[in-house]
């Protein structure tokens, strides 16, 4: 399975990324910017709900932060799987 298939690919790709160069006093193309993965975006969007819904969960030896992150990425993975037409 390709890396893109695992993480959904870039969430906000921008093929012609440019920045202003103070030294050159002009815009300079720096190549493409892939940004965060769709999986990271989904996990970030799910985080508030996870924190709200999972506050009282048994942590099973994890820190609260580890527990919330694990749950958020589990939701992100489920969202990516739901987008896959082969499932």
What's the pLDDT tens digit per position in 36-61?
889 999 999 999 899 889 888 889 89
36 by DSSP, 3-state: which?
Answer: coil
| 78 within some domain | yes
- Write down the residue that tokens 């037409």 correspond to: 85
| 3 within some domain | no
pLDDT value at position 1?
A: 41
| 81 within some domain | yes
State the pTM of this model. 0.62
Give how many domains the chain has, as a whole number: 1
Whole-number average pLDDT of the chain: 82
Range of the domain at 85: 36-87
Give the DSSP H/E element, type plus range, for residue 3: helix 3-7
| 60 within some domain | yes
| 82 within some domain | yes
pLDDT value at position 5?
A: 56
Count other C-beta atoms under 10 Å from residue 50's C-beta: 20
Count other C-beta atoms under 10 Å from residue 60's C-beta: 8
| 4 within some domain | no
| 20 within some domain | no
Q: How confident is the model at residue 7 (pLDDT cuts 50, 70, 90)?
A: confident
**Neighbouring-strand partners of residue 33:** 14
């Amino acid at each position: 399975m390709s890396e893109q298939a695992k993480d959904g690919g870039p969430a906000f790709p921008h093929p012609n990324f440019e920045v202003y160069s103070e030294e050159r006093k002009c815009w300079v193309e720096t190549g493409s910017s892939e940004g965060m993965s769709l999986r990271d975006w989904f996990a970030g969007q799910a985080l508030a709900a996870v924190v709200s819904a999972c506050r009282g969960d048994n942590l099973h030896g994890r820190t609260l932060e580890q527990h919330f992150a694990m749950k958020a990425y589990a939701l992100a993975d489920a969202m990516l799987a739901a987008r896959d037409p082969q499932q």
